[in-house]
A and B are shown apart, each in its own frame.
Chain A
Amino acid sequence: MGSMRMTFLLYRAAVRGEMQYRLNFVMLLALGLVYQGSGIAFVWTVLRTFDTIAGWNFGELAFLYSLRLMAHAVWVVPFHQLVSMDTTIREGRFDRYLVRPLNPFLQIITSRFRMNVIGDVMAAVILFTIAVNLVDIDFSPLSVAYLVLAVVGGALAEGAAAVVVSSLSFRSVQTWAASQLVDNIYLMFGSYPTRVFGGALTWGLTWVLPVAVVAYIPSSVLLDKTDSLHLSAPAAVAAPLIGVLWFGAAYKWWRVRMRGYQSVGA
């Protein structure tokens, strides 16, 4: 597992590099916290105004929302640098990753570490802690294991979309807008009971773009609400696997696109 260790060392170097700019470091951290904090406050108010949405009460909605945040945080902390891959390519830094004996994907994601993602983590953890106390889940070892699996699967489901978007930059396309779009789709459609968006969209958000599998389906399983789902209970339980499969496929696709990389002049 040499690559794992190397990845860790590169992350550590990235954080150290970031800490050279102390003020910026602190500011980004603060920005992350304020941004996510105000996000929570907003959601809180919105959720409060509904009694129930599609049969989900306030506590359950908060749980769903925070599970999505957890998955998002687990995705964004290690992989957020993928969003700037188009810049890396445009500035000609990708060539270097190809002449080193380490997977270029790992080198991309460890090339910087932006501290504001810590805000995402804090927000997710805080909201999740609160939400868990609002719902009535029996935390057996099995359901805890499922929860962990669901968070990882959800992270990979969102990650799959981000990986596909980043692969477009091998064709020297700027991808900033596209990744913002993906981010917002997951936020908008992934944080609520997907059912409210109607049958066609729900189907699309499950099988075309894996959004419902991030939090809606797993929290239905955990909250014992699979009756009202658009898929059978066993399929729902397997939802985290969908994220894993999507990610595997997305990564394969990324490697294929990398073959077409054309570098830059000079």
Chain B
Amino acid sequence: MPTLIRAEGLTKYYRRPRRYEGAFGGLRTLITRQYDEVRAVDGVDFTVSDGELVGYLGPNGAGKSTTIKMMTGVLVPTGGLIEVDGTAPWRDREKNAMHIGVVFGQRSQLWWDLPLVDSFTLLGKMYRMSEADYRRRLDGFIDLLDLGPFLDRPVRQLSLGQRMRGDLAAAMLHEPSILYLDEPTIGLDAVARDRMRDFIAEMNRESGTTIVLTTHDLVDVEALCNRVVFIDKGRVLYDGSVVDLKATYAPHRTLVVQLASGFTAARAAELLGPEVPGDVIADEGPTLRIRFEANRISAQEIISAVTSRCPVTDLSLVEPELEDVMRTLYGNRTIAV
């Protein structure tokens, strides 16, 4: 797959003229040569290929939105290279805009006081869509996102979930080849989230839209992203598949064993002894947990070791949660500071 987005040593330092309070404070702010500097993105490298769906993750203030703003052409980088489809978005803003869609989860792009459908009409014109294309796309979204019931309601009267659906359709109307989503599921309920995820997955799968997504909802990531780029303090900490991420930062799986009645976990632990590689955690009751490293020993081996020695009624395997990964990553961060 050809590379669509390329960032090399990408940097953004926010420079703010130092603020002054009091009488003539504004005027001093205006002419000052003193700056406060925030290193929001500090030498980031990554590429995104055509058709990928990439999660761009990191804690609050990591620099995710700032990177998205540079990819979309909102911000001019302080340094480094950013190229989308061969051009620098900030230099060729309007050209870049023609083939990208952007959702800023916190901010709607819809015309607040007008019926939802008016926003679509205006955007259709702005992106110079033909009448036929416009109708086809809009009808598709009305179906897919169930916009029908509130198409004629002023945007300010829509619920957050309805408005977000409207915003997604607005961003995708002109068939962009890249979709940037900055926290698209923020504030949505479980049903709305699911629907949003289905839509995002479908856009990627069916239309081959390349998608860059930021979110703090790890369920989004598990459900949608094959690949994640994890940043913190403006630097890339990890770039790769979710599976590898887990294997690296949360290598442990847990086997949960329900023992037959009368058989305590403590007794089972005794029987198993040191032969089983992994931490055996014996509860008071008949439940035994064995935490093991997935790349050292297979679940199969552990299970047969247990079943050959103890009477077992039920077995389940707990996969590592992405949340554990985040905790490890955030944990390292606190140590690194």
Interface residue ranges, A against B (CB under 8 Å): 2, 5-6, 9-10, 13, 16-18, 20-21, 92-93, 95-96, 98-103, 168, 171-174, 177, 259-263, 265-266
Contact = CB atoms under 8 A, between A and B. Distances in A.
Interface of B: 14-17, 26, 29-30, 65, 69, 72-76, 93-95, 97-98, 100, 102, 104, 106-107, 109, 111-114, 118, 122, 125-128, 154
B93 A98 contact: yes
B291 to A, nearest CB: 39
Interface of A is mostly: loop
Nearest to A175: B26
Given A16-B114, A17-B113, A168-B30, A262 B75 contact: yes
Given A9-B122, A171-B30, A99 B113 contact: no
Nearest to A172: B16
A226 B14 CA distance: 53
Nearest to B76: A259
B122 A101 contact: no
A101 B118 contact: no
Contacts of B111: 13, 17
B94 A102 contact: yes
B126 A102 contact: yes
Contacts, number: 81
Contacts of A10: 122
B125 A95 contact: no
Contacts of A263: 69, 74-75
B30 A173 contact: yes
Contact of A101 (B15, B72, B126): B126
B94 A173 contact: no
A17 B156 CA distance: 11
Contacts of B104: 95-96
Q: Which 4 A-B pairs have the closest CB atoms?
A: A17-B113, A101-B97, A98-B74, A20-B113
- Name the residue in B16, B17, B69, B74 with the highest tally of chain A Cβ atoms < 10 Å from its Cβ: B74
A21 B154 CA distance: 12
Given A17-B112, A173-B30, A101 B127 contact: yes
A265 B104 CA distance: 12
B96 to A, nearest CB: 8
Contact of A99 (B15, B17, B26, B100): B100
Nearest to B154: A20
- Name the residue in A5, A20, A103 with the highest tally of chain B Cβ atoms < 10 Å from its Cβ: A20
Nearest to A265: B65
A13 B118 contact: yes
A133 B15 CA distance: 57
Contacts of B93: 98
A263 B65 CA distance: 10
B69 A96 contact: no
Given A13-B114, A101-B97, A95 B74 contact: yes
28 contacts: A2-B128, A5-B125, A6-B125, A6-B126, A9-B122, A92-B107, A93-B107, A95-B104, A96-B104, A96-B109, A98-B93, A99-B72, A99-B73, A99-B100, A99-B102, A100-B97, A168-B30, A171-B17, A171-B30, A172-B16, A173-B26, A173-B30, A174-B26, A261-B74, A261-B75, A261-B76, A262-B15, A266-B65
A16 B102 CA distance: 26
A266 B76 contact: no
Nearest to A94: B74
Contacts of A6: 125-126
A4 to B, nearest CB: 12
